[in-house]
Amino acid sequence: MAIIIRLDRVLADRKMQMNDLADKVGISNVNMSNLKTGKVKAIRFSTLEAICKYLNCQPGDILEYLPDGKNLPDI
C-alpha cells in the first residue's frame, strides 16, 4: 500500500509557498516540508483539517492511494 502526498500539486495550483501554508496552519516549516515530500508516516486529523480549511480543498486533493503492485510515479 502506498499513500502519496500531493500537497505540492495543490500548492502549485494555488501559487502558494509551503512556508506561507506552514505559518497559516501553525506547524513548523520542517514538518510541512516533510509532509510535502512524503517523508512522514502519519498526519494528525487536526493538521489535515487545518490544511484543507486554509486551501479550501478536500483530503482527497492532497492524499492519493496506490494499491500494492502499482508503480509509484516519479517525484
The tens digit of pLDDT for each residue in 21-68 reads 999 999 999 999 999 988 999 999 999 999 999 999 999 999 999 887
How many other C-beta atoms lie within 10 A of the C-beta of residue 47? 17
The pLDDT of residue 75 is above 60: no
Confidence of residue 2 (pLDDT cuts 50, 70, 90): confident
Query: Exposure string (b/e) for 17-37, b if CB count within 10 Å is 16 or more?
Result: ebeebbeebebeeeebeebbe
Q: Which residue has cell 503492485?
A: 69
- Lookup: cell for 3: 499513500
Beta bridge partner(s), residue 3: 65
Confidence (pLDDT) at 56: 95
| Domains of the chain: residue spans and CATH | 2-66 (1.10.260.40)
The pLDDT of residue 69 is above 80: no
- Lookup: cell for 70: 502499482
